[in-house]
Amino acid sequence: MKNVIIGTAGHIDHGKTTLIKAITGRETDRLKEEKERGISIELGFTYFDLPSGRRAGIIDVPGHEKFIKNMLSGVMGIDVVVLAIAADEGIMPQTKEHLDILNLLGIEKGLIALTKSDLVDEEWLALVEEDIRERIKGTFLEESPIIPVSSTTKMGIQEVIETIDELTEEVKERDITGTSILPVDRVFSMQGFGSIVTGTLTSGKFEIGEEIQVFPGNKTGRIRSIQVHGSDSNTAYAGQRVAINIAGLKKTEIERGNVIAPIGSMEPTMMVDVKLKLLKDSQRIIDNRTRLRLYIGSSEVLCRVVFLDREQMTPGESCYAQLRLEEEIVAKRGDRFIIRFYSPMMTIGGGEILEPNPPKRKRFDEEVIKELEIKETGDIADIIEKIIKDKSKHFPNVKDISVLTVMTEERILKTIDELSKDHKVLTFSLLKDLYIIHKDYGDYLSEKITEELKKFHEKNPLKSGMPKEEIRSKYLGLAKQKLGDSFINMLIKDDIIKPINENLALKDFEVKFNIAQNEIKEKIEKIFLDSRFTALKREEIYDYLKYEKKAIDQVFGALIDMGILIRFKEENIVHKESYAEAITKTKDFIRTNGSISVAQLRDLLNTNRKFAIAFIEYLDDIKITKRVGDTRVLS
């Protein structure tokens, strides 16, 4: 069943709380001071059952300008607004400010309750209605019904209830499959229960026993119990007023403005990219780096506004901006917010979060503006593709993207599958995780690596290739080692590069010796073939050849790289033919005799004990043999 939240708005003493009591039979003012002064200071909460059978939550917000912060923490989560305007006074300053706020927050459904209508005559009532109609033109309430009511005589109350019921039919259902997010608007403790938080669950669902985190920050706890509209429940869904009893956290560790969400599901930030709009009748021109108050979810933080495409904003204008905050918050793309001037405090505008975890932006950068345009107007696939493009050098996984977008991993996976089919991203599986980079970044890396290898080959024509580790460190250093290997393996599979032992080379590269070098090569090979199983060190071959050491070293190194000479256990070097023959002889001996000792291997290869020990230990290392007592068997 669809879950809906009804919220009140309007000037102080225009009868919001009394109207709710007339509708529900319940009092929402709970503080002693509220009852004594006759005004709402804190948010009030209750619920009632609509004629359709839906149970609607109700939030009663304070109307006094001093408590606008409290009002804002309540209206962020409402679906339908009841704007209360007293018939004997008409539209007042806070009526106007509340209406501006509701417009900026993108609320779409509502009605106007013309309260205290029993105190005025019909002629006056008609004049007030006419004035209201004129004043709400261009707002979301322009075509909404205006219902004269009296909370004392109950005139119009049933019509208000029926109209609310009709409006809730048109409200879009909240996303219960998304990341669970509960902005906290109240924290208290009860003896025997511990810490309790309340708020409007804006997306997802919470269940008893679920582990949660308090954002921003790293405090975690467990949901011990849940109440929805005053009744115990095992599950709370998006669009419901929720009270959650949290085990493992003290009341002092949570405050209004925090967000309750699954552990690790959100990323705190000190900056947000936004589409900002100033009210047409704002009394302020805002200069770049003006200090403002930001209201988002149930939190209030101070910030500086950095305009990305201008020096100042005048009333009625919209632009892209970055808000640089004085405290951490968490937010998700699409969240609405309000800004008020720092001092004197007045509502001047609001907007929408385009990027909740951006880098520090350069002003007047066309690429930045283009990116924000995509994030403002693009669909989910466009947005996720852009995030992958921005984060590719880190090889993000599905969890990383889920945290950045505050979308579920299932939704991210579905979108990545679409992007992969469209050849826009490259994916790499590692253990149970899927890592993603943008195709453009993959092409960039491929180009850079091939350029690097080309330069290396030109400078080192006798080396079979560049060390793989050097390539990985230089171009894939921000990715996990196995991810770097996966990317390199992709280039090998695509026939762009090839592996040679622990080196990498361009696909068509071959070591080519000149006449003199080929002569040295043949003589070195002959020396090692003749020595068979008597390992030689590099220094020993200098005595056999009458060439410059530098020339010998270049050819010798090439033969090692090419795998013609095999090096094992420090400086033990043999020709590859001798190496292969030694392995075959050792395996055959073990198969025939069951095992082999060092002495038997020495005799088998007609070598010395030092070589036999080094060689058999090497075979242990490469898992051809394994030691059992003083002998070796096949591994």
Does residue 550 or residue 363 have the better pLDDT?
A: 363
> What CATH number is given for 4-170 in this structure?
3.40.50.300
Does residue 285 or residue 70 have the better pLDDT?
A: 285
- List % helix, strand, coil for the chain (3-state, nearest 5): 35, 30, 35
What pLDDT, on a 0 to 100 scale, did the predictor assign at position 57?
83
Tokens of 402: 């889920």
What is the distance between the alpha carbons of residues 103 and 201, in angstroms, rounded to a whole number? 21
> What CATH number is given for 182-262 in this structure?
2.40.30.10
Q: What is the mean pLDDT of residues 555-571?
A: 85
What pLDDT, on a 0 to 100 scale, did the predictor assign at position 348?
93
Does residue 39 or residue 178 have the better pLDDT?
A: 178
What is the distance between the alpha carbons of residues 559 and 565, in angstroms, rounded to a whole number? 6
Query: Is 507:498 a contact under the CB 8 Å cutoff?
Result: yes
CATH number among 3.40.50.300, 1.10.287.1080, 1.10.10.10, 1.10.3720.10, domain 378-512? 1.10.10.10
Tokens of 515: 């006449």
Domain boundaries, the chain: 4-170, 182-262, 269-370, 378-512, 515-634
CATH class of residue range 269-370: mainly beta
pLDDT band at 48 (very low <50, low <70, confident <90, very high): confident
The CA-atom distances, in angstroms, between 216 and each of 183, 193, 267, 303, 517 are 11, 24, 8, 16, 66
What pLDDT, on a 0 to 100 scale, did the predictor assign at position 282?
87
Fold of 515-634: Arc Repressor Mutant, subunit A (1.10.10)
Amino acid present at 628: V
Question: Which residue carries 């984060």 as its tokens?
Answer: 391
Q: For residue 114, how far is the Cα from the chain centroid? A: 45
Helices (H), strands (E): how many in the chain? 19, 34
pLDDT of 327 strictly over 50: yes
Rounded to 5 degrees, what angle do the CA atoms 289, 317, 101 make? 85
What is the distance between the alpha carbons of residues 477 and 173, in angstroms, rounded to a whole number? 45
Can you list the positions of beta strands (E) in 161-203? 182-183, 186-190, 194-200
Beta carbons within 10 angstroms of residue 173's beta carbon: 13
Beta carbons within 10 angstroms of residue 401's beta carbon: 22
Tokens of 435: 């890592």
Do 182-262 and 378-512 come out as alike in CATH topology? no
Task: Give a three-class secondary structure readout of 235-287.
Answer: EEECCCEEEEEEECCCHHHCCCCCEEEECCCCCCEEEEEEEEEECCCCCCCEE
Query: CB neighbours of 436 closer than 8 A, spacing ≥ 6?
Result: 388, 395, 396, 397, 398, 401, 416, 425, 426, 427, 428
> What's phi and psi for 575, nearest 5 deg?
-70, 150
Average pLDDT, the chain: 89
Q: What is the mean pLDDT of residues 345-367?
A: 93
3-class DSSP assignment, residue 422: coil
What pLDDT, on a 0 to 100 scale, did the predictor assign at position 41?
35
DSSP 503: E
DSSP 397: B
pLDDT of 32 strictly over 60: no
Q: Which of 331, 341, 357 is nearest to 257 (CA)?
A: 331
Please report which helix (H) or strand (E) contains residue 584, including its range.
helix 576-593
pLDDT of 38 strictly over 60: no
What is the distance between the alpha carbons of residues 118 and 125, in angstroms, rounded to a whole number? 10
- Using one digit for the tens of pLDDT, what is the confidence trace for 141-183? 999 999 999 988 999 999 999 999 999 998 888 888 889 999 9
Q: Which of 347, 234, 211, 246 is nearest to 292 (CA)?
A: 347
What is the distance between the alpha carbons of residues 314 and 296, in angstroms, rounded to a whole number? 23
> What's phi and psi for 619, nearest 5 deg?
-65, -35
- Using one digit for the tens of pLDDT, what is the confidence trace for 219-242? 999 999 999 877 899 999 998 889
> What's phi and psi for 505, nearest 5 deg?
-140, 160
What pLDDT, on a 0 to 100 scale, did the predictor assign at position 68?
57
What is the distance between the alpha carbons of residues 97 and 519, in angstroms, rounded to a whole number? 91
pLDDT band at 635 (very low <50, low <70, confident <90, very high): confident
Q: What is the mean pLDDT of residues 569-598?
A: 92
Q: What percent of the chain has pLDDT over 70?
A: 94
Query: CB neighbours of 431 closer than 8 A, spacing ≥ 6?
Result: none
